[in-house]
Structure 1
Amino acid sequence: MAIKVRPTAQVDETAAIGEGTTVWDLAQIREHARLGRGCVVGRGAYVGPGVRIGDHVKLQNHALVYEPAVLGDGVFVGPAAVLTNDRFPRSVDPEGRLKHGGDWEAVAVEVAEGASLGARSVCVAPVRIGRWALVAAGAVVIRDVPDHALVAGVPARRIGWVGRAGVRLVEREGQPGVWECPETGALHDERDGRLVARV
């Protein structure tokens, strides 16, 4: 499958783009970024220098993924979502001089396999979003999110669990700590604030 890059997109010549990936209008992919196979980079999306993105990832329109973010396979980043990279953001140093690239240390947002970030959500680095987790639209994530967690609010907090289908899990009646996906029937066990899928 061919790589498709719209004429108004900017893809640095040092970026690596996997086969079958589509980069839409006005998107920008910076130097040494790596995108896997079958990705979709929406209109106006930004991928910073050295960002690593797995296979089958979707960045919706105007999503901003700042370096040194790492996104696993199957991640979804909703419209206008932001992955930050500066722990102490300032335009100038204490003496009022404009800061440059070497004047601060970039920190990463890591989004694990299958996780989804809702529209206009913000992940404040450094933070890790667990496998198959779901961040609600407009949420602000300031701490790590466990695998399969459903988080919402400002700051984001866990309000439930989700399975691989993205559907909110339901606790089985009479079986505390056993969660079932209403769509797939898959079962999960909750232990010490974590959810583990049954094999």
Structure 2
Amino acid sequence: MESKNFFVHESAYIDDNVKIGKGTKIWHFSHILSNTRIGENCIIGQNCMIGPDVKVGNRCKIQNNVSIYKGVTLEDEVFCGPSCVFTNVLTPRAFIERKAEFLPTLVKKGATIGANATVVCGHTIGRYALIGAGAVVTSDVPDYALYLGVPAKHSGWVCKCGVVLTRKTSSDGELHLTCSYCRSRYMLKGKEFTVIEEKI
């Protein structure tokens, strides 16, 4: 199916009452379920399933083999790496109906979820956070935080551009972090992470 506003590959399937924003591309063998809203200029890779009742923001990139179930919301510019996993029930059983127990998951603007990572439902991933490949998220993730491992633990901070922040200077209990790539500047005081200047 092709439109002047968006593109859907002929092998993909779009249910009724789906809204797709202009410039979005949906590729081979993907399925968008009913009442789902996908923003503008998104890329949905091969073999993805989204919905029902899911909202995807603008300029998101959802790589191959990702399923985004009811209860998950992606804000703008979220990156979902290949085969990353979202859940929506904490204690699933095949023989017990638990649709009334779905827990919401919110992925905030600009966050990245690495390949094969799992996000257990009921948590929020903060703005520009980065979840490493293969990590298993079982708690909320702060803005700009780097989470790695199983279960995922706070392992550092990342720049808005995605580079791990390693250049540091310290004064008066404040740790100043500078991105080696784009030269954006941040400050860490205790557990409080503050943006000083972003170059992008």
Pick from 21, 25, 45: which aligns with 2:24? 21
Identity of aligned residues (%): 34
1:2 deviates by 2.4
Pick from 76, 81, 104: which aligns with 1:78? 81
Q: Secondary structure at the match of 2:155?
A: strand
1:61 deviates by 0.2
Q: Secondary structure at the match of 2:164?
A: coil
Paired position in structure 2 for 1:96: none
RMSD: 1.4
Paired position in structure 1 for 2:67: 64
Paired position in structure 1 for 2:131: 135
Given residue 198 of structure 1, which amino acid in structure 2 is its aligned partner?
I
Paired position in structure 2 for 1:90: 93
Q: Runs of at least 4 residues of structure 1 off by over 6 A?
A: none
Pick from 48, 51, 67: which aligns with 1:48? 51
| Aligned pairs (5 A) from 1:116-127 | 116-127=112-123
Pick from 6, 10, 13: which aligns with 2:13? 10
CA contact (8 A) 1:147 1:194 kept: no
Unaligned ranges ≥5, structure 2? none
- Range that drifts further, 166-175 or 43-52: 166-175
2 CA distance for matches of 1:193 and 1:111?
A: 21
1 CA distance for matches of 2:98 and 2:130?
A: 34
Q: Secondary structure at the match of 2:77?
A: coil
Q: Secondary structure at the match of 2:101?
A: coil
| 1:111 has 2:114 as partner | no
Deviations along 1:162-189, one digit per CA (max 9) or x if unpaired, are 0111000124234442111111111111
| 1:146 has 2:142 as partner | yes
2 CA distance for matches of 1:171 and 1:143?
A: 27
Pick from 157, 165, 172: which aligns with 1:169? 165
CA contact (8 A) 1:171 1:177 kept: no
CA contact (8 A) 2:170 2:176 kept: no
TM-score of the superposition, structure 2-length normalised?
A: 0.91
2 CA distance for matches of 1:177 and 1:67?
A: 40
Q: Secondary structure at the match of 1:172?
A: strand
2 CA distance for matches of 1:148 and 1:21?
A: 27
CA contact (8 A) 1:4 1:21 kept: yes
- Range that drifts further, 69-78 or 166-175: 166-175
